[in-house]
Amino acid sequence: MAADRDAQTETASIEANFAAVRQTMAEAAAAVERRADSVTLVAVSKVQPEARVDAALQVGHRTFGENYVQEAQERWRPRRPRYPDLDLHLVGPLQSNKAGEAVALFDLIQTLDRDKLAAALSKEMAKQGRRVPCLIQVNTGEEPQKAGLAPLEVEAFLHRARETHGLEVRGLMAIPPAAEPPAPHFALLAELARKLDLPIVSMGMSEDYPTAIRLGATHVRVGTALFGARPERKR
Ligand SMILES: *Cc1c(COP(=O)(O)O)cnc(C)c1O
């Protein structure tokens, strides 16, 4: 009984969070005369308790972002048969030796960032007979510790990803430097996507998704604002 009540409280608060984020997204879109449905909400569920993820499914949400391949497999493989319209995005860094598992599980890989990975993904897609579209991760702040290509490298890499590796690249993704205002980074990413004729622009997290939408995000990746603070990752 107590557990049931907890689950109900969880669902109620997650439902309220989704409604609030949706409302904020719609306002940001309206401010720049964009339609609310031109922006996809990717609910980033990494390390969140299962009950919160189930609550999100219960309120009808289907597009989720995950950072860790193994955690995502454990969470989503058993749920997939019940939710055939799930849309799972990998938003964390991918090691080439996990490419097969990623291709089998995800519907969009947002973090393509090097030739070795492009080759591994390409090989796995051929082997599994499954084409998974990708986004190129761009390191807009050119931070040495962060994944992604420098903005000036993106065009040549896009051609290699398509021509050499035969990948379906649909857009760009970025995580701006934590210590800087994100707007110039968002503007740069959107401009680069426009120049390269790429339809998807994945940018904006809990702290800054309204700004990202005003600057052209087609996908925002929101975790804490939907699910609450993340517990520490268990290893
Ligand atoms: C964790 C994560 C998010 C979500 O961050 P919040 O601040 O919790 O909204 C978005 N994108 C990526 C790549 C992440 O790793």
Question: What is the residue-level pLDDT of the chain in tens, covering all 235 positions?
Answer: 466 767 778 888 999 999 999 999 999 999 999 999 999 999 999 999 999 999 999 999 999 999 999 999 999 999 999 999 999 999 999 999 999 999 999 999 999 999 999 999 999 999 999 999 999 999 999 999 999 999 999 999 999 999 999 999 999 999 999 999 999 999 999 999 999 999 999 999 999 999 999 999 999 999 999 999 998 866 5
Closest to 142 in 3D by CA, of 83, 188, 195, 99:
188
How many angstroms is it from 128 CA to the middle of ligand 1? 29
Atom 15, ligand 1: which residue's CA is nearest? Answer: 92
The minimum-distance atom of ligand 1 relative to the CA of 110 is: 13
How many angstroms is it from 127 CA to the middle of ligand 1? 31
How many angstroms is it from 163 CA to the middle of ligand 1? 31
Q: What pTM, to 2 d.p., does this model score? A: 0.96
Atom 4, ligand 1: which residue's CA is nearest? Answer: 223
The minimum-distance atom of ligand 1 relative to the CA of 230 is: 8
- Ligand 1 lining (C-beta closer than 6 Å): 44, 46, 67, 91-92, 175, 205-206, 221-225
How many angstroms is it from 161 CA to the middle of ligand 1? 25
